[in-house]
Structure 1
Amino acid sequence: MPDTLALAFQASVARVPNRVALRTPHDDQRLTWAQYGAAVERLAGAFAGLGVRRGDRVALWSHNRPELATAAAAAAHLGAAVVAPYVTAPAAAVAHLLRDSEPRVLAIEAGLEHSLQHIEHAVPRVVALDGARGDLPALSEVDAPARFSFEACWRAVQADDLLAILYTSGTTGAPKGIEWPNHKALMIAENLLGGLHARDGIREVSYLSFAHAFDRSLHWRGSLHATTQTFCAEPSRLHEALLDARPTFLTGPPSVWQGLKARLEATLDKSEQAALDAGIARVRALLADRPPRALSAQQKRTLAGLPARLGLDRVNHAVTAAAPCPLAVHEFMHGLGLPFGEFWGMSEIGVASMTDPGVRDIGTVGRPVPEYEVRIAPRAGPAGEILVRSRLTSRGYRNRPQETAAMFALDGWIRTGDLGTLDDQGRLRIVGRVKELIITTNGHNVAPAPIESQLIDACPLVAQACLVGDGRPHLAMLITLNDPDGAADPATRQTVADALARANTRLDPRERIKRHAILPDRWQPGDELTDTLKLRRQRIATKYAAQITSLYT
């Protein structure tokens, strides 16, 4: 396997020059691999003209678009690491990222120009990613230096040169920059393909922020396998992009799969629902080690036609990660017949475990992938902290030598901060986060994520659930709805209460939710949520302190 992105990219250009590499829905924009290669060469010259050299950093701030991928690949051909803020990040967070990474240049899309006054002091040079705008010169119009040799530059890039600095979501403090060299990043991207054997001709949709490890790895494996990527600038329009692109591979956090599930459920007639119910019943039987009832020929035909409504009829590998995935989502996707799996990893370590095809691993995140060791460090309770060791883990945190040293302090074993268990088949089950543990006044340690997932699983009306109760006599929950207006509707409130009662029956008595509050709010990235849609628990506890207090009076 090539050990730099530039080598992988150039091999793909040479192998399939006429294959479509980058496109937008309906082919409004479309580049073959040969055209992609030429565009990368032009932008590499432009970055060099701006003073970018091997070992530098380049910052890219943009929604998903072909120009973003082209600029990132161009920087990689110079041996420069790419840094990408979230487009939803507040200006202060972007300025922190720029100060920490010290990029030579920031390339920004037109729609984000209004934020420049708050961040331009943190970077020496700013250019427009998508054409000149006012005082901003266009990146594509910058001339390459005299005697610039594109080939000499990309052949000089080394496997250990940084390819990217990925920043954590900042759930408990300032985001930390995680350094990924070329060869490790490419191996991580390859691991994401799991057991997929048909690696040629992969079609994917890029819809998450380029700052997200999911999306970045999509671009890395694009260079490895000459994939075709369709760009979806707004995640809210993912369904439209899927119908257009018909991907063969799709990754996404559970919220994406929940949204697709709800969209399809809303279209089903009685016979289709009956066929899906039969498919889900088979999944449940297999999970319970019972013989599943055979589907009729008509039910098979019906189920075979349903994924096309989501644009998933050609998917041969579908994966979720980043948060606990509700059981109902697994049952639904497998009931449809989709090859749906789950993996676990972190920005610091890459993908460490992945489920096998089929339903047997549902409820776990599978077994360690090749090159990774996983063990559990004992602590109070049935779960312990998950430790990981591998030669493929990241280099560590940028500008944080003490935290980097601490990360590798246990003879190379990395403390992940996640709680989990290993079963007798070597499968890993995630329980929660060490820092998120709630300790009630009776001394009981509670991991909130599995309990929150129980409610979301039981009630499709619920958008987010946040368990509270640290230092309190019992547990309570703050709840938001997919339709915030429903918070005032008695019928909706009763539906949520009934779902909560059902969820409680599946919980240990000490983990049951005694009271709850339904909030008329929609939690947003940058406020109650991180940019990767994780709960900012401290922020929520502060913002809703009065509501939490009322649950204990």
Structure 2
Amino acid sequence: MSSKVTAKNLAELYYDSAMKYGDRPAFGTRNKDKQFSTINFRDVYETGVALATGLIDLGLEPRDHVAVLSDNRKEWIIANYGILLSGAADVPRGTDVTDGDIRYILPHSDAKMVFVENEATLRKIEKNFPYLNNITHVILMDGDSTTNGKSNSNGKMQVDSKAGIPKTTKMADLIEKGKRLRELGDRTVEKRVAAIQSDDLFTIIYTSGTTGEPKGVMLTHANMISQLRNIPIDIGPKDRFLSILPVWHSFERVFQMGTIAMGASQYYTSVRNIREDLSIVKPTFMASAPRLWESLYQGIQSRIQGGSFIKRTLFNAAYGSALRVQRSLHFFKGNRLDLNGRSLAQSITLAVSSLFSIIVFFIPYLILDAIVLKKIRQATGGKLRGSVSGGGSLPFHIDEFFNTIRIPVFEGYGLTETSPGLAFRTPKRLVVGSVGQVLPETEILLKDIETGKVLYPPKKGVKGEIYVRGPQIMKGYYKRPEVTAKVLSNDGWFNTGDLGIMTFNDTLKIVGRTKETIVLLNGENIEPVPIENKLIQSPFIDHVMIVGQDQKFLGALILPSLEKFAEYGSTYEELATSRAVQEKVEQEVKNMIRTENGFKSFEKIVEVRLLPKTFDVGDELSAKLSIKRHVITAKYQSLIESIYEGKTQGSSQAPQVYARR
């Protein structure tokens, strides 16, 4: 990809792609007839220029910020073009934005204008407008919606003098105004694009937060250009991307920008339509969260188990032979996960057994693949060359399953703060169980979390906290220098808060987290501290730690109060085995962590486990009495695992006690 990206900023990239790929379809949106209406590269660029002209006419200045509250749709990318071509930066969020998010993010980001997708989102803005003193213009994407007013003959906003709320203008009207100005010779956009510096912001993405103070990650044009320069996958005009992740997430935006740079087509879908759209679009690539693959895996397993004995037998034979052959091929390619280093004897043994598996199972594999596994691949449209899973750890059995049946899943690793890519798995370096090789231009070091010893370069097979440095690292958190300083050093090293190991395959494996943020399988980022702080207010709870990293839902390890539950036992171990205590604690958690108390649906605690001993300073607690999450996670691993064993949703179970080692 690197040889093809020559633009200095994203606005230049948009122009270059319009010139190179003109009439080719760029973006598609599904209509009511289950067909995709598309807009080509030239039209999306020219529409974006017209929108930018209209925004400038409204008073948008270089380096201003514009909020965009919208989900995946063609108008989103047009709004993005318009904002960036005017020399401004976007502040994106989905339509599920809460009142708290609106009241904090829009003022904190200094957004001057706000795009809203539809009437429902517009109502949210109107409801919270008394808190949005910085917003001068509201722009509605939906073209067929009624608005609370119109722009005047000059295209300027009128204001409702009673409510102090700007009259909403339609995005389509603003585009038409821009076209008229262009026809009259307005070329302000060209001047704005020429003035964009590589260090200018193109976006501020706010991370999720329960406290009302999410952090605004500042990403520059140079950050994103570096991603396009270094992502090692081959994309071209013949490729079709299916977009299912929120289009404003940094992970999805890399692929969005990649399709623009390489002339590929991107089609917007949703969780509701994904299975149908896979067969309609027949994508060659897609970005996805682990939850999607888990859902597809469960669907496949359900159909297999519900089939006849013959079908189950055929599948087991097909998958079994494929697994043996693929594992053997991975070994000979140097792609079989190796965390400890193999001796010569071990390598010879694996080579002999791998060769034996290929000789015995290769012919059955070819036959059964054509009869059985090929039909499963058709569920993705049959043309999928690869999918990149990110936003959370992909469970190993699901990772191996799809790669074994030849639906390639190239897991990647990164954070919003790193634009996001840090490591990436490729067809040539497909080491199942790892997140691939570290990207070019990216440095990595590991630091021992107990001793602070720095491993640079990282030593293979040794675990440590991951620090990275490179052109993709954020500029910082917007208006939060003290928070920025905690994770980003003066010499450019960023603390990811993740624990990793460099494998003997020269790839990176993520093995845990030291930071507090929990990432669920669906990609939702959750800060556990506010939830824990709420629960610790209960007189029935002495200690609590929220768990759920790379899982479907949150669970909680809770130490019940000896004083409040004295009638059920005199020790924590006795309380932990009491069904009555379990039920009372579960009800207390349910009452405290609910939407009525300001928590989001995905922040609810689905399962609770009671702890048999208190947290001690020097063990589970630091000298400052903060909990050591990695210590507690390791000590109570089996108890945590019991929360998620065989669970697809929350269910009450008999109390389980961790057996102390």
Q: Shared fold by TM > 0.5?
A: yes
**What SS class does the counterpart of residue 341 from structure 1 fall into?**
coil
Unaligned runs of 5+ in 1: 439-445, 457-462, 479-486, 488-506, 524-543
2:220 maps to a residue whose letter is P
Distance 1:44 1:436, change over 3 A: closer
Distance 1:307 1:260, change over 3 A: same
Alignment TM-score, normalising by the size of structure 2: 0.66
1:257 corresponds to 2:272: no
Distance 1:464 1:21, change over 3 A: same
1:220 corresponds to 2:232: no
1:421 corresponds to 2:501: yes
The equivalent residue for 1:169 is: 208
Q: Is the 8 A contact 1:21 1:226 kept in 2?
A: yes
1:116 corresponds to 2:125: yes
Q: Is the 8 A contact 2:389 2:412 kept in 1?
A: yes
Map 1:335-346 onto structure 2 (within 5 A). Answer: 335-346=404-415
Q: Is the 8 A contact 1:22 1:230 kept in 2?
A: yes
The equivalent residue for 1:491 is: none
1:404 corresponds to 2:412: no
* 1:522 positional shift: 6.0
* 1:13 positional shift: 1.1
The equivalent residue for 1:355 is: 425
For residues 193 and 90 of structure 2, the distance between their equivalents in structure 1, rounded to whole angstroms, comes to 15
1:209 corresponds to 2:246: yes
For residues 636 and 208 of structure 2, the distance between their equivalents in structure 1, rounded to whole angstroms, comes to 31
For residues 371 and 98 of structure 1, the distance between their equivalents in structure 2, rounded to whole angstroms, comes to 34
The equivalent residue for 2:284 is: 248
1:19 corresponds to 2:30: no
The equivalent residue for 2:470 is: 390
* 1:397 positional shift: 0.7
Distance 1:137 1:515, change over 3 A: closer
For residues 278 and 186 of structure 2, the distance between their equivalents in structure 1, rounded to whole angstroms, comes to 40
1:139 corresponds to 2:178: no
User: More displaced, 335-344 or 146-155?
Assistant: 146-155
1:240 maps to a residue whose letter is E
Distance 1:86 1:225, change over 3 A: same
The equivalent residue for 2:319 is: 276
Q: Is the 8 A contact 1:272 1:302 kept in 2?
A: no
For residues 216 and 262 of structure 1, the distance between their equivalents in structure 2, rounded to whole angstroms, comes to 28
For residues 642 and 298 of structure 2, the distance between their equivalents in structure 1, rounded to whole angstroms, comes to 24
**What SS class does the counterpart of residue 492 from structure 2 fall into?**
coil
For residues 208 and 88 of structure 2, the distance between their equivalents in structure 1, rounded to whole angstroms, comes to 23
For residues 386 and 68 of structure 1, the distance between their equivalents in structure 2, rounded to whole angstroms, comes to 34
Q: Is the 8 A contact 2:245 2:289 kept in 1?
A: no
- Deviations for 1:8-35, whole angstroms, at most 9, x for unmatched residues? 1111111121111111234442212222
2:249 maps to a residue whose letter is H
- Deviations for 1:293-321, whole angstroms, at most 9, x for unmatched residues? 32423213135623543224222221112
Pick one of 15, 38, 43 that aligns with 2:51: 43
Distance 1:360 1:447, change over 3 A: farther
Map 1:445-524 onto structure 2 (within 5 A). Answer: 463-464=552-553, 466=555, 468=557, 511-513=637-639
Q: Is the 8 A contact 1:432 1:447 kept in 2?
A: no
Distance 1:170 1:433, change over 3 A: farther
Q: Is the 8 A contact 1:318 1:340 kept in 2?
A: yes
For residues 112 and 311 of structure 1, the distance between their equivalents in structure 2, rounded to whole angstroms, comes to 33
Q: Is the 8 A contact 2:222 2:471 kept in 1?
A: no
Alignment TM-score, normalising by the size of structure 1: 0.78
**What SS class does the counterpart of residue 111 from structure 2 fall into?**
coil
* 1:386 positional shift: 0.9
1:367 maps to a residue whose letter is Q
For residues 48 and 126 of structure 2, the distance between their equivalents in structure 1, rounded to whole angstroms, comes to 29
Distance 1:447 1:274, change over 3 A: farther
The equivalent residue for 2:402 is: 333
* 1:138 positional shift: 0.4
* 1:425 positional shift: 4.2
- Deviations for 1:89-113, whole angstroms, at most 9, x for unmatched residues? 3111122111111112111122423
Q: Is the 8 A contact 2:251 2:421 kept in 1?
A: no
1:4 corresponds to 2:13: no
Structure number, greater radius of gyration: 2
Unaligned runs of 5+ in 2: 1-5, 149-167, 305-310, 338-349, 452-461, 518-527, 529-544, 561-571, 587-605, 607-632
Q: Is the 8 A contact 1:58 1:104 kept in 2?
A: yes
* 1:470 positional shift: 7.8
* 1:274 positional shift: 3.2
- Deviations for 1:353-392, whole angstroms, at most 9, x for unmatched residues? 1234368622222221101111111123974311111133
2:223 maps to a residue whose letter is K
2:77 maps to a residue whose letter is A
Distance 1:226 1:517, change over 3 A: closer
The equivalent residue for 1:130 is: 142
Distance 1:514 1:156, change over 3 A: closer
**What SS class does the counterpart of residue 44 from structure 1 fall into?**
helix
**What SS class does the counterpart of residue 512 from structure 1 fall into?**
helix
- Deviations for 1:120-145, whole angstroms, at most 9, x for unmatched residues? 34222212112253212202213346
For residues 359 and 327 of structure 1, the distance between their equivalents in structure 2, rounded to whole angstroms, comes to 17
* 1:235 positional shift: 2.3
* 1:39 positional shift: 1.6
For residues 493 and 642 of structure 2, the distance between their equivalents in structure 1, rounded to whole angstroms, comes to 40
- Deviations for 1:302-341, whole angstroms, at most 9, x for unmatched residues? 3562354322422222111221111111111111112222
Q: Is the 8 A contact 2:639 2:657 kept in 1?
A: no
Q: Is the 8 A contact 2:235 2:264 kept in 1?
A: no
Distance 1:205 1:304, change over 3 A: same
- Deviations for 1:396-446, whole angstroms, at most 9, x for unmatched residues? 1101112223332263211111122223444322122213499xxxxxxx9
For residues 411 and 405 of structure 1, the distance between their equivalents in structure 2, rounded to whole angstroms, comes to 11
For residues 291 and 211 of structure 2, the distance between their equivalents in structure 1, rounded to whole angstroms, comes to 22
1:347 maps to a residue whose letter is T
Q: Is the 8 A contact 2:26 2:260 kept in 1?
A: no
**What SS class does the counterpart of residue 147 from structure 2 fall into?**
coil
For residues 548 and 508 of structure 1, the distance between their equivalents in structure 2, rounded to whole angstroms, comes to 23
The equivalent residue for 2:39 is: 31
For residues 510 and 552 of structure 1, the distance between their equivalents in structure 2, rounded to whole angstroms, comes to 10
**What SS class does the counterpart of residue 344 from structure 1 fall into?**
strand
Distance 1:173 1:373, change over 3 A: farther
* 1:42 positional shift: 2.0
For residues 358 and 326 of structure 1, the distance between their equivalents in structure 2, rounded to whole angstroms, comes to 21
2:362 maps to a residue whose letter is A
2:494 maps to a residue whose letter is I
Q: Is the 8 A contact 1:245 1:311 kept in 2?
A: no
For residues 24 and 228 of structure 1, the distance between their equivalents in structure 2, rounded to whole angstroms, comes to 11
Q: Is the 8 A contact 1:354 1:365 kept in 2?
A: yes
For residues 34 and 210 of structure 1, the distance between their equivalents in structure 2, rounded to whole angstroms, comes to 21
For residues 253 and 301 of structure 2, the distance between their equivalents in structure 1, rounded to whole angstroms, comes to 31
Map 1:93-108 onto structure 2 (within 5 A). Answer: 93-108=101-116
**What SS class does the counterpart of residue 417 from structure 2 fall into?**
coil
- Deviations for 1:462-485, whole angstroms, at most 9, x for unmatched residues? x43636368988999x9xxxxxxx
1:316 maps to a residue whose letter is R
Q: Identity over aligned residues, as a percent?
A: 22
Q: Is the 8 A contact 1:279 1:295 kept in 2?
A: no
* 1:514 positional shift: 8.0
**What SS class does the counterpart of residue 306 from structure 1 fall into?**
helix
For residues 373 and 654 of structure 2, the distance between their equivalents in structure 1, rounded to whole angstroms, comes to 51
